[in-house]
Structure 1
Amino acid sequence: MTMWRPDPSKLPRPAYASLADQFADAISRGDLKPRSRLSTHRELAHQLRISIHTVSRAYELLIRRGLISGEVGRGTFVLAQPKETMPPYLPERFGDVIDLSILKPVCGDMHLQKMRDGFAWLGKNLPASAALSFRPNMVFPRHREVGREWLKKCGVDIAAANVTVTNGATSAMTVALMATVTPGATLAVEAISYHTLLPLSNYLGIHVESLEIDGEGLLPAALENACRKSEIRAVFLQPTVVNPTVSLMSAQRRYEIAEVARRHDLAIIENDILGPLIEPRPMPMASYAPERTLYVTSFTKITVPGLRIGYLAASDRFAAAVANRHLVSNWMATPAMAELATLWITDGSAWKLVEWQRQALERRNSLANMLLDGLTYNAHPQGLHIWLPLPEGHTEEAFVSQARLRGVAIAPGASFRTSTGPWQPAVRISLGSSTEDDLGSGLGIVGSMLRGEPEMLLRGV
């Protein structure tokens, strides 16, 4: 047992977060060595004169940060080093593998030519401000105006001054979190969510409260209960098909969540990277709670992956904080990419690419429906992926590994898990990341694996 002890006089509220921070600092300084065994929940609660629940939440936060690990029957130990999150997709593509692991739009020769033509246009028409200016306000007023028109297609009507042009959705998400949740504060998320959200929150020092979901997404009652028990600052949502389970939240559910957020003064971060691709769909959360929503959308999943530009629309309440956080973390989006996005919006190319993508995804979802007939999975006719719960007897690790041995890469469902509660093993299968022929072959292999007996994962020795 380690001799280091937290200081009970330095536990400002929320106590669990400040307690976790004391442990994290001790680990960083070396006061707590790797493999040091920590006090039990009950022992530490007694020593510090705090509740066992507070200690449990602190330990849970440290586990999420990759600093400690609980071992059944043995205790809780300091890890040798913080664990880095592995991506659910193949970092590189090897050999003849059919890669259905990474979420991409359907692309063809037309998309490559479109980008080449766009760069040729930029070579002739790039304005001096885009090439020579260090001042965002000299570069982006026109792009914000055009971005406002695109946001209207997404269902968001907001002043151009409240639109921030970002280098895609990840940049916008980071800024939105920094603008709404201070280090040590709590962010509410769905039990299955965006795979980079947990590590990003950890890097920013934000505690994540994972909440129960159903077939539509976040349960309003779960958010209400969490707000009564914890000091939650914001809730992160992906209500329109892009979430791992491919759920589409109803208008009534969106209204109920907006009312909970209003009662407890929460910010809402809405990740809607598919934007106008999904038709029909309810209005975005930003229309139900415009005074407290930070709305994120982008072009990479609905037009061409190389068009790494997005928009963050923030209400007046958060506009100044968003501008400042974006300035210190990104300075500004890449002007040349912003020029290209603006061109494609104004000449209609962006909308044509969205319509093309919608039709391509409808064909691929029909193919999946045929090849996976009789199996249970979640999908949307215009969705980029399917969520496939594994039948009893299958484990994610074995199933993903066996699929890889048969030449198909798929993403393990646990990569998107934010909860430590009961878990239904599942896999995510991208429909746009390969050719249509390869998709058919890959889905056929997955289907045959599910219709056969589960195979034990063999390990080399």
Structure 2
Amino acid sequence: MSETKFKDIARQIEQRIDTGVYQPNAKLPPHRELAAELETTPATISKAYKLLAEINRVESFVGRGTFVVGESQLNQAIQPADNDTEFNFSILQPYVSQNLASLRTAYQKASMTFTPELLAYTDHSGHLPHRKAGAIWAQRYGLKSASTNNVLLTNGAQHALSLLIETLTQPGDVIAVEALTYPGILAIASLAGRQVIGVDMDDDGLIPSALEDVLNSHKPKLVIAIPSHQNPTGITMPMQRRQAIAIIIENSSAYLVEDDIYGFLNEDTLPAICHWLPEKGIHISGLSKAISPAMRCGFVVAPDHLLPVLNAHIRANIWLASPLNFIVAEQLINSGEAFSMAEAQRDIAKQRQAIASKILGAMISESDGYHVWVTLPAHWQQERFVMEAKQRDLIVTSGSYFSAGDSSPNCVRLSLMSIKNNDALTQGLQALKALLESHEVSLAPF
């Protein structure tokens, strides 16, 4: 092979990117397919892709392929509303109006308790009363081992995920995730240079045998799972599946990161998977989904032997999570009001799930969380549907943004909680139903 051939191939690919043949975020052809087209070898294509990755024109993911660098997929998956006429089904958050008055009162009350000590630096990730409140929150929703000594405070669950990936893995390491997972995990892994491999799922979540296969073949350093009201599928792992996953992790070299931010939505408390993994499980919970996205209060419960290095990384990056929000969180948790707020959000979610079920019926997954997973009719392709919905002021999220593998089911995710009221939700869902059933579209076929 000529020493310059792969560079010539790279220039051809780059020209296709520049001229729009390969669009931003588009998946490039597999090595063998492009090699056949350009009359070269897969090894040459691999070297060309690697060269383009070094200059940030493409990025590659284990099990997913190579993509043109473009706008963050997280930005596309979660879109702020452009105007008041839109029905934004893309933002997965609590119904913020529900807690507005209580939060105003709570922040005003908290301001009267500010002391020099609480507003100063501390030796740990946060002040002791705030870590104690985090332990109470985690205990309430399934992790009885949480205590003041093993809780770390972060600026929300997203910060916690980033902290754990940066601390417990190195560039090039493999992270195992659910085959369909939260795009924020994929975004963090991509920015950090970690490789992601998807683990197959069934109606109970991660498939134990599939997880074993991935652990044996890819040797991931971390396994990240969302056990309750999984994003995007809505699946909640039953206790037996949680125990099975714990046994497999225990017998591997990987740590489990349990992203349990939706555990409060369970009608009956389920034990966290980390309950069975005292030395190998790291548990994440927080208040952003239960109370307000503005409350960047994340709680990480980690094994004792990991606490020093995690604390060191927190200090090196942010020193400590801002105490202001945690002063409010402590008061709300200790008074019990935080749990009442979470319960109210669960009730609203049930009401909205009932509305969605009545309108969309068999097209949606059975769920009782904040969102539904919609299987598109055969005549719709997910990206085309998303674009056509946008034309009608309906903002939905393509299933492709959640895929940790080469392909994704022909689905979209709908958040039910960011719509301003039930009447607007009904109107938006009816418009979506009409679009789902329609064969007439305004966009040209892809």
| Fold shared, TM-score > 0.5 on shorter chain | yes
User: Is the 2:180–2:232 contact (alpha carbons within 8 Å) kept by the matching residues of 1?
Assistant: yes
Q: Does 1:394 align with 2:384?
A: no
Q: Does 1:106 align with 2:95?
A: yes
Runs (5+) with no aligned partner, structure 1: 7-26, 43-51, 71-75
* Cα separation, partners in 2 of 1:264 and 1:66, compared to 1, 3 Å: farther
| Letter of the 1:192 counterpart | L
Alignment of 1:30-429 (within 5 A): 35=13, 67-68=57-58, 84-85=72-73, 86-108=75-97, 110-131=98-119, 133-137=120-124, 140-156=127-143, 157-373=145-361, 375-381=362-368, 383-421=369-407, 423-429=408-414
Distance in 1, matches of 2:166 and 2:2, equals 35
Runs (5+) with no aligned partner, structure 2: 16-27, 33-41
Partner of 1:21: none
Q: Does 1:447 align with 2:433?
A: yes
For residues 415-450 of structure 1, give each alpha carbon's deviation from its aligned partner in whole angstroms, at most 9, with x where no partner exists. 1111114x3211111110012111111111111222
Distance in 1, matches of 2:47 and 2:343, equals 46
Distance in 1, matches of 2:423 and 2:51, equals 44
| Letter of the 1:94 counterpart | N
For residues 60-116 of structure 1, give each alpha carbon's deviation from its aligned partner in whole angstroms, at most 9, with x where no partner exists. 99889974389xxxxx9996x5663343132343241111111111232x5222222
**SS of residue matched to 2:257:** strand
User: Is the 2:125–2:311 contact (alpha carbons within 8 Å) kept by the matching residues of 1?
Assistant: no
User: Is the 1:242–1:272 contact (alpha carbons within 8 Å) kept by the matching residues of 2?
Assistant: no
**SS of residue matched to 2:372:** strand
Partner of 1:49: none
**SS of residue matched to 2:222:** strand
Distance in 2, matches of 1:65 and 1:380, equals 43
**SS of residue matched to 1:367:** helix
**SS of residue matched to 2:149:** helix
TM-score (norm 2): 0.84
**SS of residue matched to 1:120:** helix
| Letter of the 2:395 counterpart | A
> Structure 1 residue 286: deviation in Å?
0.9
* Cα separation, partners in 2 of 1:63 and 1:453, compared to 1, 3 Å: farther
User: Is the 1:410–1:429 contact (alpha carbons within 8 Å) kept by the matching residues of 2?
Assistant: yes
* Cα separation, partners in 2 of 1:450 and 1:5, compared to 1, 3 Å: closer
**SS of residue matched to 2:90:** coil
> Structure 1 residue 226: deviation in Å?
1.6
Distance in 1, matches of 2:51 and 2:336, equals 47
> Structure 1 residue 290: deviation in Å?
2.2
**SS of residue matched to 1:319:** helix
TM-score (norm 1): 0.81
* Cα separation, partners in 2 of 1:436 and 1:2, compared to 1, 3 Å: farther
**SS of residue matched to 1:303:** coil
Distance in 2, matches of 1:204 and 1:281, equals 34
* Cα separation, partners in 2 of 1:453 and 1:41, compared to 1, 3 Å: closer
For residues 289-345 of structure 1, give each alpha carbon's deviation from its aligned partner in whole angstroms, at most 9, with x where no partner exists. 222111111111111232221101101232222212222222211110010000100
* Cα separation, partners in 2 of 1:62 and 1:426, compared to 1, 3 Å: farther
For residues 249-308 of structure 1, give each alpha carbon's deviation from its aligned partner in whole angstroms, at most 9, with x where no partner exists. 122222221122122121000111123221225311111222211111111111123222
| Letter of the 1:323 counterpart | N
Distance in 2, matches of 1:324 and 1:128, equals 24
RMSD between aligned alpha carbons?
3.3
Distance in 1, matches of 2:263 and 2:56, equals 34
| Letter of the 2:393 counterpart | G
Partner of 1:433: 418
Partner of 1:16: none
User: Is the 1:179–1:321 contact (alpha carbons within 8 Å) kept by the matching residues of 2?
Assistant: yes
**SS of residue matched to 1:125:** coil
